[in-house]
A and B are shown apart, each in its own frame.
Chain A
Amino acid sequence: MSGDHADATIAQRVRRLETLLEDKGVLSGARLDEIIDASLSGASPANGARVVARAWTDPEFKARLLADGTAAVRELGFMEGSYQRLRVVENTEATHNVIVCTLCSCYPLRLLGPSPSWYKSEAYRSRVVREPRAVLGEFGLDLPAGTEITVWDSSAETRYMVLPRRPDGTDGLTEEQLAALVTRNALIGTAAV
């Protein structure tokens, strides 16, 4: 917003729009506060981590998750009433998955929490589809040369989440302990667990 409205900062213009909408009876400030409070409540990568830990410990759930992500996460109480489709893509020894929204910023917010700035940046969106191996390297994830990388480009209708590989030596862990190992970046695919 540079140039034409240099006399007002963006914060002032947003405030002015709120006042204008309130004066016109379109939207009250109290209603707006309510909506702001509600919009991020319940959105957390802990949700996606719970889904992953369940998939690691329950092969039947995992099969359902990979077949129909939307329905499977609903079993755990997530994405109720969502009109978007969730597709969960599984990392294996041979394949690594990473998600992007090249057009903008589509992202399974409830399961992953607020998206990081880099996910919305032109640099990530433009480059991860062209040179995913180099991009993952910048995140500190150096995959073996033989690992195939699949990049999933989100759309308004379909959101993706990565099912990371369960680390070795975790046989004795509970589902809760397993969930604690799963990071937001692992659910995006820019990190491993």
Chain B
Amino acid sequence: MARINDVGGFEGFGAIDTGDDPEPFHADWEARVVGLFNALRAQGIFNTNEFRDAIESMPPAEYLAASYYERWFRAVCTLLERKGVIEPGELDA
């Protein structure tokens, strides 16, 4: 079954903002999330395919509402819970 990330050919996403980004990240937390991803992957806590799957299996409405790096953060949290590194809800305790 196609997932929400499989957008190739879809209509309705509007115009492309072709402007260039002066910086790769728009906020410090985005860089920290990428760092978390790289560090946890390097430690073998999850691999790239599991990470992609965690992003791509997000409920469609949440996927579309989230920014690119919000998806990354969500996926990191999902996998840490799935692997038992953190407890569900622990982050918000």
Contact = CB atoms under 8 A, between A and B. Distances in A.
Nearest to B12: A126
A180 interface: no
B21 A117 contact: yes
A17 B48 contact: no
Size category, A interface = 35 or more
A16 to B, nearest CB: 6
Size category, B interface = 35 or more
A55 B38 CA distance: 32
B8 A116 contact: no
Given A27-B40, A114-B24, A104 B9 contact: no
Contacts of A24: 85-86
A48 B69 CA distance: 25
B65 to A, nearest CB: 6
A102 B7 contact: yes
Interface string A126-170: 110110000100111000000000000100100000000000000
Contacts of A116: 20-21
Interface of A: 1-2, 5, 8, 10-11, 13-18, 20-21, 24, 26-27, 31-33, 35-36, 39-40, 100, 102-105, 113-114, 116-118, 120-127, 129-130, 135, 138-140, 153, 156, 190
Interface of B: 5-21, 24, 27-29, 31-36, 38-40, 42-43, 45, 48-49, 52, 55-56, 64-66, 68, 70, 73-74, 76-77, 80, 85-86, 90-92
25 contacts: A11-B29, A13-B91, A14-B33, A14-B36, A14-B73, A17-B77, A17-B91, A18-B32, A20-B86, A27-B40, A35-B35, A102-B9, A104-B5, A104-B56, A116-B20, A117-B68, A118-B16, A121-B17, A122-B7, A123-B14, A123-B15, A127-B13, A129-B8, A130-B11, A139-B18
8 tightest Cβ-Cβ pairs between the two chains A and B: A102-B8, A114-B24, A36-B35, A11-B29, A126-B10, A123-B13, A126-B7, A14-B29
